[in-house]
Structure 1
Amino acid sequence: MRIAVLADSDTRWKWGALTAARIVPGPTMEAAGRDAAQVGPELSGFLLRGRATPTARQLAEVGVHVDSLKEVTAVEFLRTMAEEEYDLVVLALVGGGVQAMLHGLKRVWEGRKRRPVVVTGYVGVVYEKLADGLLLRHGADLVLANSRQDADRFRGVYEGVGADASSVTEVALPFLGGAPYEGEHDPYTVVFAAQPSVPDSRKDRTYLLERLIRHARKHPEREVLLKLRSRPGEHTTHIEELPYQKLAQKLDAPANFSLVYGNMGEVLDRTDLLVTISSTAALESLHRRIPTVVLSDLGVREVLGNHHFVGSGCLASWDQLDEGHRPEPDEEWVDRQGVAADGSYATAFDAARERITKLLGRPGGLAPLTPYYTPATAPGYLPGILARHHLGPDGSPLPGAPAADKEPSAVKQIVRRAARGAYRHGVQRVAPVIRRMGDL
């Protein structure tokens, strides 16, 4: 079986590659071992060119073997899909990217007797833009929901606008796993899982960092870690205007406080208490039954995403943690979130595998892709979505769309890296200065 995964950032590559390995019909990852190379299919990776294209370290951190890996534009990817045969295509993109690819793929596969099964979904917790994001993903053969709660919500949105909801398929987050928590480590280790964009103000980010350092001072016998998503200079889904690394340089941290990077699962191997605002890391931690706290210090607000954890039993403040509070998660809430702490995770992807098997074996092949948005249903919205990826209203490339016939030269690669660096510098250095000047 040939599988193609198209991703636009490090986190979406992680979700797409691991999802592909779990939903391919045949032996499960649990049966074959975690290395996806043992599962059997030929996996081709495509990275959508942009400011968040992941580095080699970020790709390697995922731990999924790929037979080929290529950086492409949207038009280049569509050309490859027109010229080569695949069985399964996973679109691990932001909603607008998924919608553009669905229309582009519909065009390039016109008249083809057989086409691949197209799969998409979400990287983690869906706490904002539910209707917008879902309708942009409509048209894929499978729209994966990471929990029973999400599956119910997804179907409700599709049915509410009169769209076919049969594509919604309940699975779980593909990166859950690891050994269950068995008791305190020596030293007891507290991990704060930071997020690039939540919260976004200097005041709030400084507050969280100061409280983390204060906790380290109050408990010198503990190891206190700040888990960061990316190293300085690396790109991620959201570019941070105020990296915690930069803020930490101005604070006098104790010896038992340190910054850590790398695979979240490996960090959780030594974690006794996971603290976050609303990171998907909380679900990874709950899956392993590690004590987990979602902070309420900055309020329980939609803009922070921690409102998703209402009813979880995990909401608490730094004051409570400083005094030794250990949360007790609500088992019913955990079960509805697809965390599968009860051991049922091994079967979480069975429904998706069965559906893909049926679709691949359908006599006469699959019907053309039919997104909800068309030039007739969304004439004021869809053309702009497609144009961002240099596609016209019918999914065909616009005149002058970037599409190379060969790998970019060394000079072009250097220019692209410089452009990404300039963009990051503008976001992290120039934009905050301009914003402060505007407040004078």
Structure 2
Amino acid sequence: MPSRTERAVRVAVLADSDTRWKWGVLTARRISPEKSRETSAGTSAETSPESAAVTGFVLRGRATPTTRQLAETGVSDTAPREGTGAEFLREVRDAGARGEGYDVIVLALVGGTVRAVLQGLAELGLERRPVIVTGYVGVVYEKLADGLLLRHGADVVLANSRHDAERFRAVYEGVGADPHAVVEAALPFLGGAPHKPEPGRDTLVFAAQPSVPVTKAERVYVLRRLVEHARLHPGREVLLKLRSKPGEHTTHLEEFPYQRLVRDLPDGQVPANFRLVYGHMGEVLDRTDLLVTVSSTAALEALHRRIPTAVLTDLGVREVLGNHHFIGSGLLTSFDALDKGAAPEPDEEWLGRQGVGVGGSYERAFDAARARVAELLAGPALPPIAPYYTEATAGGYLPGILARHRLDVTAPEPRESGVRRIVREAARGAYRHGVQRVAPVIRRLGEL
């Protein structure tokens, strides 16, 4: 049987939302060890990333992405398998028993789920366990310490910039945890052609976020200012870029979807140059001349392409909004300034620390992570998983996290008939409807 260094590296990506699926697949491709190709002269040529075989899984739950959402990410023609955490662990166990074990597992999950899956993988008792990689899908502006400590125990914890790498190591060192798993990289979905203005085109895109801002009043404010801006600038196309359609979920719940708020505008009309749009963010950025957001990671995508970018201050510069991350960037701007034609200029030093828009350095951003994974694959069997959060260090916290996930791979796997599957899908649809539509109404009634 060929060794892990002699065959295509087998990679499993486990995600819990559309955005994390995108991050996980692209990360897997960028960090997988590359195999040398031989030239006709017999000498080693450039390496190829095609040596990785990526298998995708998405967790069944509140934020399970729809087929449309998965397709819109544009990262894979093959749909991932949907299942529970326990089913994923069984697949890892059984693949190893078949001699087809995974070499690398990318956990594109929230922190608590990462910790639970780490526990499950440790309990499988695999003869040679996979290299475990995890990280963050975007800007880390909240729960820095808790999120990092829940991820501790993975072999590689990716940081999306030098700024993040320094913060991550400081947290681990500060609590006495091993910081060596932290590896500096970048957001894996940056790319696209540099911004090139086109005569006659003037497009402002607002990148919406499901949970920022959170209150209805703040979201209505943003919407009304966008509509007003469109009226003030009839020659400019104003696009409100939405992440999901009604009934779909993303990483965070969206209690007040902009689609509904547009319908509820008092005057009932919006100017012809204002539209709601969906689709792949990269394709929308292809026609963007000014990207506006509160704190979306789309700002970093735009900056990487040198698209003028503005981060709003109208709702304050607050940790809960995440726009405090952009302090020092030169991008903090108000709607009043935008209405008057402002076009912020980013601070180059800030950009460098965030790993965006800096010459050709992005092409080498994943070299260290790829080398670390290759080193771990080529070395001896990996030691047991050793997270920071254990019964000894977090006895009043960890049991609750593990209990919420119930990753028991020893429980008998239920056989599912066609009728049962249809019933399960209907129940899941009803659950999503209850979470997005019914629960917010009940909460609002309770506030009366």
Q: TM-score, normalised by structure 1?
A: 0.92
Residue of structure 2 in register with 1:183 after alignment:
197
* Residue 246 of structure 2 is aligned to residue 232 of structure 1: yes
Distance 1:48 1:158 in 2: 28
For 2:403, which of 369, 377, 387 is the aligned residue?
387
* Residue 270 of structure 2 is aligned to residue 253 of structure 1: yes
1:298 offset after TM fit, Å?
0.5
Q: Which runs of 5+ in 1 are unaligned?
A: 29-36
For 2:30, which of 22, 25, 28 is the aligned residue?
22
For 2:150, which of 112, 127, 136 is the aligned residue?
136
Range that drifts further, 164-173 or 74-83: 74-83
Residue of structure 2 in register with 1:78 after alignment:
89
- Tell me, what secondary structure is at the counterpart of 1:319? helix
- Tell me, what secondary structure is at the counterpart of 1:39? helix
For 1:404, which of 405, 413, 436 is the aligned residue?
413
Residue of structure 1 in register with 2:179 after alignment:
165
Residue of structure 1 in register with 2:60 after alignment:
49
Post-superposition Cα deviations, 1:242-265, rounded to whole Å, max 9, x if no partner, equal: 100011112311111111101000
Over 3 Å counting, the alpha-carbon distance change for 1:309 and 1:165 in structure 2 is same
Q: CA RMSD in A?
A: 1.9
* Residue 379 of structure 2 is aligned to residue 370 of structure 1: no
Distance 1:213 1:294 in 2: 18
Q: Which runs of 5+ in 2 are unaligned?
A: 1-8, 37-47, 96-100
- Tell me, what secondary structure is at the counterpart of 1:4? strand
The answer to whether the Cα contact below 8 Å between 1:185 and 1:270 also exists between their aligned partners in 2 is no
- Tell me, what secondary structure is at the counterpart of 2:338? helix
* Residue 370 of structure 2 is aligned to residue 356 of structure 1: no
The answer to whether the Cα contact below 8 Å between 2:247 and 2:436 also exists between their aligned partners in 1 is no
* Residue 175 of structure 2 is aligned to residue 174 of structure 1: no
1:233 offset after TM fit, Å?
2.1
1:80 offset after TM fit, Å?
1.1
User: What is the one-letter code of the residue matched to 1:147?
Assistant: S
* Residue 102 of structure 2 is aligned to residue 89 of structure 1: no
Distance 2:84 2:439 in 1: 27
- Deviating above 4 A after TM superposition, structure 1's stretches of 4 or more consecutive aligned residues are none
User: What is the one-letter code of the residue matched to 2:215?
Assistant: S
- Paired residues in the alignment total 421
Distance 1:66 1:77 in 2: 21
1:360 offset after TM fit, Å?
0.4
Post-superposition Cα deviations, 1:135-171, rounded to whole Å, max 9, x if no partner, equal: 0000000000000010000000001111110000000
Residue of structure 1 in register with 2:114 after alignment:
98
1:434 offset after TM fit, Å?
2.6
Distance 1:373 1:432 in 2: 34
Distance 1:289 1:60 in 2: 27
User: What is the one-letter code of the residue matched to 2:366?
Assistant: F
Over 3 Å counting, the alpha-carbon distance change for 1:340 and 1:290 in structure 2 is closer
The answer to whether the Cα contact below 8 Å between 2:23 and 2:137 also exists between their aligned partners in 1 is yes
- Percent identity among equivalent residues? 68
- Tell me, what secondary structure is at the counterpart of 2:213? coil
Residue of structure 2 in register with 1:33 after alignment:
none
Distance 1:83 1:384 in 2: 28
Distance 2:199 2:432 in 1: 38
1:432 offset after TM fit, Å?
3.2
